[in-house]
Amino acid sequence: MSIEVRNITKSFGQFKALDNVSIKINAGELVALLGPSGSGKTTLLRIIAGLEVPDPTSGPIFFGGEDVARRKVGQRGVGFVFQHYALFRHMTVFDNIAFGLTVKPRKIRPTKEQIRARVSELLHMIQLDNLADRYPNQLSGGQRQRVALARALAVRPKVLLLDEPFGALDAKVRVELRGWLRRLHEEIHLTSVFVTHDQDEALELADRVAVMNNGHIEQFDKPDYVFHHPSTPFVMNFLGQVNQFRGRLGRTGEIHIGQYAGVAEEMVAANTSDWASEANASFFVRPHDLAITRQPREGQLSFPGTILRVHSAGVRIRVELQSDEGEPMLAEVSHARWERLGLKAGDRCFVTPHSVRIFDAVDTPAAARTTETPKAGASASGEEKAS
């Protein structure tokens, strides 16, 4: 069953948790709401569930074409998995899973045998067949999470909503459960929405990812597309580390950063028509698109820097640098390339951006917004000293 919300706004006092948000989720899709804390992702999930009431100015909430905005949470037919499981601590695993069935009005309540059969089926699905008589506090975190999921599925909900489903688990269990949830979704094809602040989780698990920030949805696309074609600086920043340089964009597409100028091999802009005008701009470069060389590259934008630290424990070597203005930069190179360069911490070198992304030729508040959530944002503007 598809889910569609239109123009949802939610304020908590002065704070706007959601500001006019609309989203349409197709039937059978697994969608991630991804964003930092305070971005409104959990609020949106709870509004879809009916656990939170949006502001009166908000639009409708459709489940498969039917407006459920006026319906109470118990009547919406949603399965909800809470971040901290919220299992009933005084009930066994069996009773927890059976709860939703046993509280149905007498007329539509299944018989004892039917309930038993349904619970056994779910216990089998979550691979906890022999733990039916345990209490929640006798289970591990991963087991509790699976019981919470089975409990939500017992009533055959139309949509499944998960709030930070793996947030309270340790890294290894998290990855295991992720794969398990993905396979489960492929089996039952229930329209599902989950909230997460972990970009790996969102990109690996979801069919589509909605990246949220400050109560807005910044971008809603397939994981691959969101990662490779971020539509705002925020999305680029949130889905991995990025260097940010302030400078000027020339008429012919050359980049001016301080006294250094030149073109980059690849340049992607949100709006190419803006290239014509000479304007101040922010340039975004992923660490793996920032090449380190001993000499400046002819005809390309290259500027000097100093190597601060080298992290070599990993698949690729991560190099922390500093521009002559003291701005931090981050580059990623392969082990082979690093050996050939023969550089070490403290050495001088040149950096050359290969692929540069511009979101708005003019320095707009959109670009400024990314600086509020710095991850690896680094700017090197107005360089004056020669190397």
Contacting positions for another protein (CB under 8 A): 49-51, 73-75, 78-80, 82, 84, 86-90, 99-100, 103-104, 135, 137-138, 151-152, 155
What is the closest distance, in whole angstroms, from the C-beta atom of residue 84 to another protein in the complex?
Answer: 6
Beta carbons within 10 angstroms of residue 266's beta carbon: 11
76/197 with CB nearer another protein: 76
**CA distances from residue 87 to 91, 97, 122, 149, 175 in whole angstroms, order as listed:** 8, 9, 16, 10, 22
89/311 with CB nearer another protein: 89
What is the closest distance, in whole angstroms, from the C-beta atom of residue 80 to another protein in the complex?
Answer: 4
Edge-to-edge strands of the sheet including 260-262?
260-262, 255-257, 243-249, 279-285, 355-358, 266-269
CA distance 39 to 164: 14
137/252 with CB nearer another protein: 137
Output the six-digit token pair for 75.
Answer: 């009547």
What is the closest distance, in whole angstroms, from the C-beta atom of residue 206 to another protein in the complex?
Answer: 22
Beta carbons within 10 angstroms of residue 125's beta carbon: 16
Output the six-digit token pair for 264.
Answer: 């980059």
Nearest one of 281, 227, 231 to 251, comparing CA atoms:
281
Tell the residue number behind the tokens 């919470």, with chain if given.
148
Q: Which string of b and e fits 52-74 if b means at least 16 CB within 10 Å?
A: bebeeebbebbbeeeebbeeeee
Under DSSP, the state recorded for 273 is G
